[in-house]
Each structure stands twice: as structure tokens, then as C-alpha cells.
Amino acid sequence: MERQATGTDRTALVLGATGGVGGEMARALAARGWTVRGLRRKPAERLRQDGIQWMFGDAMNAADVAAAAEGAALIVHAVNPPGYRHWDRLVLPMLDNSIAAACVNRARILLPGTVYNYGPDVFPLIPETAAQNPLTRKGAIRVEMERRLHRAVGQGARLLILRCGDFFGPQAGNSWFSQGLLTPGKPPTRINQPGRPGIGHQWAYLPDVAETAMRLLDREAELGNDAMFHMDGHWDADGGRMVSAILRALGEPSLPVRRMPWWVLRLAGPAVPLFRELSEMRYLWQEPVRLDNRRLLAFLGEEPHTPLDPAVRRTLAGLEYLKLGHLPALPAETPEAGRCIPDRVASRRMG
């Protein structure tokens, strides 16, 4: 039986709460006073609690998702198959389970979106209304995900898509930052530079993404049933600001910076799925690609924004470079900063 959502419902199911994006969303929701449920596959896993009510189940199982979503007003869909294996085959069935649960509960689905939906025909500055003509298999699947979500709005669900640049953050282990620019879990001996000199690139600090999502959800009554916004995040205008910030944070300004060996990724792609996925996204590093956040600014008045240097330092600390002895000690932080609340709020004007 379908339930009627009310403006006072404060229960959320976060699918992917063990990951970087979902975990950040779950912690932000809990800090906002939501009752937060997370779904995990292994009941014996040792997981941070962070105010999350953990339930045993699998996002690939429709019954598990339906049970976990019962009574929820919000479903955060930030889940991927384990290790991203068979992503192309599993991601749409997983989404269908979220959609079915949202329709029954008349819940809002929050989807953290990407630029993969778009092709060069709408570069360099992309509004929410731009045509979606992706170049890659992953982009085509992303387009189909959003098509199904928009269709679900007519079936009782509500929708919020928040598109962002490449994620980085203290828990973002599967990202260009941690797996492209750096080698995860190893002391850095060099930094990889995926883009050409002078080519801008857009990044999104996950605590800022979560805070932006929370401010949008705080205005649920004004969102409408089908809402879509773009974040500006951190715009690296010349493609070198992020690398420079990493070098400053590591305290090793002489660390070598090398061009990304794209040819190696292409050759190894058939055997290494990660390399294939990275290689497919090369086109996003060959010319400036920037999401236009003017709709977000008009709605919220400002975009939450942590300055680049502290954002990078906290990211490196979260990726355990402190433990490896390759990161200077962070200064003492207030409890709010320790929870990754953005340091300040700044309007991100297009310029």
C-alpha cells in the first residue's frame, strides 16, 4: 500500500552508506536530525556508526530495499556494485529497486550526478537544461538512469539530482583524486596529471556536496517533484591548482608531477576494469568542462564552499597519508570542522 508523505517525515535510507558519497550524505543527514538507515551486505562488518541504523541486506535485492525503505521520505541512491564489478550490468537493476521503493513510499530519491551524461556538443559551460549526448558507455547508462528517475516522478516518486565535478574528500577512496592523481595506500613518489596544461577541470569536495544537498532538502516544500541542480565546487581554471594544493599539503614541493600515462591505461584496460573506466573518461580532461551553478545560486543564494587547501589536507588525512607519515600534522580543529562541516560559505559566481 502506498503511503502519503508529509512535510514532517524525517526518515532516510542511504544506499551506498559505506562508500564515500553515501557515507558523507548519511552523516550529514544524521547531523540534521534525520533518522538514517543504511544497508550493508555483511552483518559482521565493522562500520562507523555515525548515527546510522544499519540493516542487513543487498541493494540488488528488491525485497531488501523495500524493507529498509519502509516509511522513508528520502532514498539517497549512491550505491555501486562491490568493487564496481559488472557496473554496466548491475547499476540499472539496483536503481530500479530504489525507484520501486520510492514509488511505494512516495519518497524523494536523491541522486548525486556527474558530468558523464554530457558530450562535447554542450561544452564548456553546462546548464541543467543541456542536451545529453554522452560519448561513453558509462555516460549512456547515466542518461538512462536519469530517464528512469524522471519517469518515476509520474509514478509517485519525487526526485532531486545534484550534479557535481570529480569527487574528493576524506572518505572518497574510489575517485580520480585517490586513484588517478595519487596511488591509494602508498606513500606518494609522484603526482599524476591527467589533463593538459591550461585546461580547466571541476572538482567537488564531498562535505560541501553533502551540505549543499542538506540545504536543498531543508527547502523540501519549494523543490517541486522533479528538481535538478548543478554545483560549481572547485574550479581548477588552469588544471594545476589541485596538483599544487596536494604538493603544499604533503609538504613536498619537489615531488615529481608526471603526465598521466594514458597509453598504459588503454593497453591494460581489457584486463583491468579500473583502467578501462579511467581511459574512457579521458575526453573530460582534454578540454574545459564546467557545470553552471547559477540555478543553485538563485535558489539557495550561495553554495557551501570549503577552501581548497584545507579540503585537500583533510582529504589526504582521510586517505591515511597521515598514518604513512607523508602529511604534516593538521592544526587543531573545532568539533564542527572535525565533522567536515564546510569552513565558510561563499557564493560561487561564474566568471
| pLDDT score for 11 | 98
Q: Average the pLDDT over 10-26 and give the result.
A: 95
Q: Average the pLDDT over 88-98 and give the result.
A: 94
Q: Average the pLDDT over 252-269 and give the result.
A: 86
| pLDDT score for 96 | 98
Cell numbers for 69:
525503505
Is the per-residue pLDDT at 348 higher than 70?
A: no
Is the per-residue pLDDT at 25 higher than 50?
A: yes
For 238, other C-beta atoms within 10 Å of its C-beta total: 13
* Alpha helices, H only, the chain: 20-31, 62-69, 87-105, 137-153, 176, 206-217, 220-223, 241-250, 262-268, 273-280, 294-300, 308-318, 335-338
Task: Report how far residue 35's alpha carbon sits from residue 268's, in angstroms, rounded to the nearest whole number.
Answer: 44
| pLDDT score for 341 | 32
pLDDT band at 270 (very low <50, low <70, confident <90, very high): confident
Task: Report how far residue 178's alpha carbon sits from residue 167's, in angstroms, rounded to the nearest whole number.
Answer: 10
| pLDDT score for 186 | 76
Task: Report how far residue 213's alpha carbon sits from residue 225's, in angstroms, rounded to the nearest whole number.
Answer: 15
Cell numbers for 306:
570549503
Instruction: Report the range out of 4-18, 34-48, 87-101, 213-227 with the highest average pLDDT.
Output: 213-227
Is the per-residue pLDDT at 102 higher than 90?
A: yes
Task: DSSP letter for 255, please.
Answer: S
Task: Report how far residue 165's alpha carbon sits from residue 142's, in angstroms, rounded to the nearest whole number.
Answer: 14
Is the per-residue pLDDT at 1 higher than 70?
A: no
Task: Report how far residue 292's alpha carbon sits from residue 349's, in angstroms, rounded to the nearest whole number.
Answer: 9
Is the per-residue pLDDT at 241 higher than 70?
A: yes
More confidently predicted of 213 and 268:
213
**Could you read off the pLDDT of 134-161 as tens digits, one per residue?**
999 999 999 999 999 999 999 999 999 9
Say what percent of the chain tops pLDDT 70. 85
